[in-house]
């Protein structure tokens, strides 16, 4: 037992040092963001140039705007309208709608593009049917016919402001600047705690990380959207590659290895829609985590071996590309810590050590983040601080999802680019659950539930082992797993019979855009196209409702019933675990407490009063150590020893107090009690992993997996009816 505990302790400390090194990098970037001289100098120069040239018209280059889309019927119209309203000369603006959709989004986009083309816009609708290379493949295909010397890219959920190009394009004065990345805004930041957590996470990324790296020798990454590339930079870096899930990170690293500079604009903000569904947010996080590891496997060795790069550039590149390794390390640490406590391993030599450790954790974590939040947002820092609390829960709980992504990148090959669903949800209270693209929860949710239950057990272990000082940290981490797991299940929405009024309103909204409406008044063909699109949307809305309504209803409610069943079975397992602890483990812990009190007894009578209840709490027979069991952990033998101690204590009580024989006999009993107490403490961890508990856990997990498998088949049938 001591050898296992020592190994786990060394592993725990090693992980702590590795995670600390990643944490310290945040302090480094925070300092750099506040003291990025090159970035601030550039901003001052830009302001001066803009003031001096205000009276004369600037030379505007030709720009190609690429809009990679895939099944985005709720936001595609919003994006295209916003792009077409950008204040820029039409003769110098090309718009490529790179559409890989396979649903009614295709007809919707086609009608809109035709309408804008009739108004004189240089806009094309490029529809692919094979999706080769996914987003990277679409961008690569668009580059073949792109006319602009600069390429602006927007994802479907973004809404560029009308002054975007005029504010951003003049930042390419330096011919070595290959990329200008703009800051993301959030149109639905206050929709829920989930969107608030994502918002503060992205804000810290842009205003600390990206600002720290802007125009420096530290590699900065393109965020995939709301940015402008120099076309010659893309070509020089080798173009878009389709070998990873994060083509943006891949290209930006290859460009900077070629000597190109990247600039971040914190004063140009492009609003975007944050994922409102937990399963959608997890999918996005999965793609980012897996993609980063893929780029690390692809480019990290080249970065390290390139002689021209400074050592701190290489260190920063290593940390950025491997940062998601923190997630499996955190989970490992989360699993190990309760084991060390249960094994009663001596974690510290002095009593104040845990207090100091927790203070260091707080100072190097939340306090530093709150300081930076206060520094960045000034008077508005309190609302952002609340968002940071939600971010702690989100970051903790999503570590399971991202751990799976890391191992998927390390152990498997290339995978499908799974888009993040968008529903056009902006205001608090708007419903998305009955819309298309909503995702069910995955098997990862079962792991999140496991870690949530494990965290609850860890809290009890900490309390009953006398390590209550660690409870707050464990509770915060456990809440994170509960938060993610709960929302993953609650946000698993299933389509019902469509709302006719809702569909009609959506069609009316699409056809009432001012620019498009004006064109349709003059073009009967555009009107017919829009009517065709409307009919397509209605047909698609009804596609999920089978003619055999009873059968569809049966599938739907059967799916929901199984969902309730799996939640009930999880609750049953938690109840059984609590009952098992109360009936098998807690009595032994209580007996150990009585024996501890017996060791401090000053008279044989008091000693017996503690030994008797301790004996009654122990099982009459059996040995919890099922692997390599020894007599010292046999409950029957321990009870016999306690009977013998009671007999000896009664004999000593007849002796004269304070005599040598009296004191010697009493001390001998105390030493024997201490040995038995140690034996029981060694046996306690095996009570958690008893043969019965293992069998019950296997059955419990198997039943959940079986129910989940049935649900998955039900989901497949549901999808078949949707497509019928």
Token reading at 349 = 């030599």
C-alpha 137/C-alpha 126 separation (Å) is 12
Domain that residue 596 falls in: 567-697
Query: What pLDDT score was predicted for residue 538?
Result: 37
Domain of residue 671, CATH code: 1.20.120
**Among this protein's residues, is 100 annotated catalytic?**
yes
Q: How confident is the model at residue 702 (pLDDT cuts 50, 70, 90)?
A: confident
Domain membership of residue 238 (yes or no) is: no
Backbone angles phi, psi at 66, to 5 degrees: -105, 130
Do residues 192 and 430 make contact, with C-beta atoms less than 8 angstroms apart? Answer: no
Q: Tell me the angle at which helices 247-257 and 278-305 cross, rounded to the nearest 10 degrees.
A: 20
Token reading at 225 = 């959207």
Do residues 693 and 624 make contact, with C-beta atoms less than 8 angstroms apart? Answer: no
Domain membership of residue 40 (yes or no) is: no
Of the residues 99, 100, 157, 589, only one is catalytic, namely 100
Domain membership of residue 239 (yes or no) is: no
Residue 89 reports pLDDT greater than 70: yes
C-alpha 136/C-alpha 134 separation (Å) is 6
Residue 672 reports pLDDT greater than 80: yes
**Among this protein's residues, is 99 annotated catalytic?**
no
Domain membership of residue 718 (yes or no) is: no
Do residues 368 and 26 make contact, with C-beta atoms less than 8 angstroms apart? Answer: yes
Query: What pLDDT score was predicted for residue 499?
Result: 43
Number of domains into which the chain is organized: 1
Burial 640-657 (b: 16+ CB within 10 A, else e): ebbeebbebbeebbeeee
Looking only at the bridges linking them, the beta strands covering 158-159 and 261-272 are: antiparallel
Do residues 147 and 64 make contact, with C-beta atoms less than 8 angstroms apart? Answer: yes
Q: How confident is the model at residue 487 (pLDDT cuts 50, 70, 90)?
A: very high
Residue with tokens 């009107």: 527
686 alpha-carbon distance from chain centroid: 34
- DSSP three-state, residue 638: helix
Could you report the per-residue pLDDT of 171-230, keeping only the tens digit for each?
A: 998 999 999 999 999 999 999 999 999 999 999 999 999 999 999 999 999 999 999 999
Q: What does the chain come to in residues? A: 724
Domain membership of residue 644 (yes or no) is: yes
Quote the strand ranges of 247-349, DSSP E. 261-272
C-alpha 603/C-alpha 169 separation (Å) is 88
Per-chain mean pLDDT for the chain = 83
Query: What pLDDT score was predicted for residue 622?
Result: 83
Of the residues 155, 157, 203, 248, only one is catalytic, namely 248
Residue with tokens 């994060």: 246
Residue 305 reports pLDDT greater than 80: yes
Domain membership of residue 583 (yes or no) is: yes
Do residues 95 and 117 make contact, with C-beta atoms less than 8 angstroms apart? Answer: no
Domain membership of residue 655 (yes or no) is: yes
Neighbours of 425 (CB within 10 A): 23
Residue 406 reports pLDDT greater than 90: yes
Neighbours of 501 (CB within 10 A): 8
Could you report the per-residue pLDDT of 48-88, keeping only the tens digit for each?
A: 665 555 544 568 999 999 999 999 999 999 999 999 999 99
Structure-derived torsion over alpha carbons of residues 212, 215, 219, 224, reported in degrees to the nearest 10: 90
Domain membership of residue 628 (yes or no) is: yes
């Amino acid at each position: 037992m001591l050898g296992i505990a020592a190994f786990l302790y060394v592993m725990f400390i090693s992980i702590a040092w590795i995670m600390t090194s990643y944490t310290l990098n945040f302090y480094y970037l925070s300092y750099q963001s506040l003291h990025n001289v090159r970035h601030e100098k550039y901003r001052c120069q830009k302001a001066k140039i803009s003031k001096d040239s205000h009276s004369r018209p600037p030379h505007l280059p030709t720009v190609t705007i690429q809009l990679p889309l895939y099944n985005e019927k709720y936001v595609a119209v919003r994006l295209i309208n916003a792009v077409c309203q950008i204040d820029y000369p039409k003769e110098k603006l090309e718009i490529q709608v790179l559409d890989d959709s396979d649903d009614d989004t295709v007809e919707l986009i086609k009608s809109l593009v035709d309408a804008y083309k009739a108004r004189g816009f240089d806009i094309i609708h490029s529809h692919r049917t094979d999706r080769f290379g996914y987003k990277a493949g679409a961008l690569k295909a668009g580059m073949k016919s792109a006319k602009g010397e600069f390429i602006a890219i927007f994802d479907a959920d973004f809404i560029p402001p009308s002054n975007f190009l005029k504010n951003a394009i003049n930042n390419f004065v330096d011919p070595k600047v290959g990329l200008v990345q703009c800051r993301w805004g959030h149109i639905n930041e206050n929709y829920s705690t989930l969107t608030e957590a994502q918002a503060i996470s992205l804000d810290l990324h842009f205003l600390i990380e990206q600002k720290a790296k802007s125009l420096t020798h530290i590699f900065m990454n393109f965020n995939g959207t709301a940015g402008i590339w120099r076309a010659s930079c893309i070509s020089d870096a080798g173009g878009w590659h389709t070998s990873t899930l994060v083509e943006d990170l891949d290209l930006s690293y290859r460009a900077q290895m070629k000597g190109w500079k990247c600039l971040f604009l914190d004063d140009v903000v492009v609003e975007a829609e944050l994922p409102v569904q937990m399963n959608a947010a997890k999918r996005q996080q999965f793609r980012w985590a897996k993609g980063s590891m893929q780029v690390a496997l692809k480019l990290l060795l080249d970065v390290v071996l390139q002689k021209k790069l400074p050592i701190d550039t290489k260190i920063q590149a290593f940390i950025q590309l491997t940062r998601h390794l923190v997630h499996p390390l955190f989970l490992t640490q989360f699993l190990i810590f309760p084991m060390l406590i249960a094994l009663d391993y001596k974690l510290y030599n002095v009593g104040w050590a845990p207090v100091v450790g927790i203070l260091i954790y707080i100072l190097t974590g939340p306090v530093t983040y709150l300081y930076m939040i206060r520094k960045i947002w000034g008077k508005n820092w309190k609302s952002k601080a609340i968002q940071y609390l939600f971010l702690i829960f989100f970051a903790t709980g999503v570590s399971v999802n991202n751990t799976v992504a890391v191992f998927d990148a390390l152990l498997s090959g290339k995978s499908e680019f799974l888009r993040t669903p968008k529903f056009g949800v902006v205001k608090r209270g708007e419903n998305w659950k009955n819309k298309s693209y909503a995702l069910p929860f995955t098997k990862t949710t079962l792991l999140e539930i496991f870690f949530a239950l494990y965290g609850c057990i860890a809290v009890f272990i900490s309390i009953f082992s006398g390590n209550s000082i660690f409870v707050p940290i464990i509770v915060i981490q456990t809440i994170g797993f509960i938060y993610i797991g709960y929302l993953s299940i609650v946000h698993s929405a299933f389509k019902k019979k469509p709302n006719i009024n809702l569909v009609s309103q959506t069609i009316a909204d699409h056809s009432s855009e001012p620019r498009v409406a004006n064109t349709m008044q003059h073009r009967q063909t555009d009107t017919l196209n829009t009517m065709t699109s409307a009919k397509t949307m209605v047909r698609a809305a009804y596609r999920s409702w089978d003619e055999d309504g009873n059968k569809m209803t049966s599938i739907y409610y059967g799916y929901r019933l199984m969902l309730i069943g799996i939640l009930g079975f999880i609750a049953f397992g938690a109840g059984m675990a609590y009952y098992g602890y109360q009936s098998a483990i807690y009595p032994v812990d209580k007996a150990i407490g009585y024996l501890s009190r017996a060791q401090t007894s000053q008279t044989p009578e008091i000693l017996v009063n503690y030994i008797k209840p301790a004996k009654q709490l122990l099982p009459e027979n059996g040995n919890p150590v099922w692997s390599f069991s020894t007599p010292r952990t046999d409950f029957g033998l321990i009870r016999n020893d306690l009977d013998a101690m009671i007999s000896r204590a009664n004999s000593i009580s007849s002796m004269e107090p304070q005599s040598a024989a009296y004191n010697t006999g009493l001390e001998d009993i105390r030493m024997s009690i201490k040995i038995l107490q140690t034996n029981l403490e060694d046996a306690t961890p095996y009570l958690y992993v008893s043969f019965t508990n293992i069998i019950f856990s296997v059955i419990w997990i198997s039943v959940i997996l079986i129910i989940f498998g049935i649900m998955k088949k039900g989901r497949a049938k549901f999808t078949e009816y949707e497509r019928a």
